[in-house]
């Protein structure tokens, strides 16, 4: 016959309503991981004897503090892992798009990333895509980017598509294909620029 299991309270037994000191033979210390010898258990039976007692069990306090420190360390490491140069370039690119919008353009209602209709729409007829060239004083035209915005414009029923290239000094240059120039000229002759000819 096995000897009866010895139930031991932890150091906080006098403050716990489920301890040997409070419940005697009905103590739940045998089911509590805070009780000596029960470190392998995953749950505890700690309950403050006084409901107004706001002081946590020392082990719980230590675990919460360690968790808080670990979370702060993870957040710090995550912040440090982000490339500052990439963050700076992203901020400059966003500022370039905003500058384009503030200068001459009414932004599209929906994001160009969702509809693939460029970053902005000029007078409801021209799709524009802002390209930041933060390392260039003299803007460089990439034809594949120009072709892409022209196709996006055609797909979204705009008359033409162009690039707004902004250099390292913040100077913006508007670029379109040569064959689109007559379309641009015809737009300038429309009495109401906000209304595209194809919409009539």
16-70 pLDDT per residue, tens:
999 999 998 889 999 999 998 888 899 999 999 888 888 889 999 999 999 999 9
**Domain stop point among 81, 113, 131:** 81
Show the domain range for 89.
85-199
Residue 173 CA to residue 136 CA, distance in Å, equals: 12
Report the relative pairing of strands 126-132 and 172-175 from DSSP bridges: unpaired
Q: Is 163 within the bounds of a domain?
A: yes
Quick one: pLDDT at residue 141?
A: 92
Residue-wise pLDDT tens digits, 133-160: 888 899 899 999 999 999 998 888 888 8
Q: What is the DSSP letter of 110?
A: S
Number of domains in the chain: 2
Q: Is 2 within the bounds of a domain?
A: no
Q: Are residues 70 and 92 in the same domain?
A: no
Whether pTM > 0.85 for this model: the answer is no
Q: Is 7 within the bounds of a domain?
A: no
Q: Which tokens go with 85?
A: 């140069």
Q: Is 161 within the bounds of a domain?
A: yes
Report the relative pairing of strands 106-107 and 160-166 from DSSP bridges: unpaired
């Amino acid at each position: 016959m096995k000897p009866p299991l010895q139930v031991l309270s932890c150091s906080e037994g006098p403050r716990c309503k489920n301890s040997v000191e409070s419940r005697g033979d009905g103590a739940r210390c045998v089911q509590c991981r805070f009780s000596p010898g029960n470190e392998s258990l995953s749950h505890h039976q700690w309950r403050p004897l006084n409901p107004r007692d706001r002081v946590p069990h020392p082990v719980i306090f230590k675990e919460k503090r360690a968790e808080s420190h670990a979370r702060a360390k993870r957040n710090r490491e995550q912040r440090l892992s982000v490339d500052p140069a990439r963050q700076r370039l992203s901020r400059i690119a966003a500022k370039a798009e905003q500058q384009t919008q503030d200068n001459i353009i009414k932004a599209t209602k929906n994001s160009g990333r969702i509809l693939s209709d460029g970053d902005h729409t000029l007078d409801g007829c021209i799709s524009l895509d802002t390209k930041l060239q933060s390392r260039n004083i003299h803007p460089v035209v990439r034809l594949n980017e120009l072709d892409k915005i022209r196709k996006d414009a055609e797909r979204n029923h705009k008359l033409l598509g162009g690039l707004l290239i902004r250099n390292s000094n913040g100077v913006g240059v508007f670029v379109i294909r040569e064959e689109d120039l007559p379309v641009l000229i015809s737009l300038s002759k429309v009495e109401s620029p906000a209304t595209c000819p194809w919409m009539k």
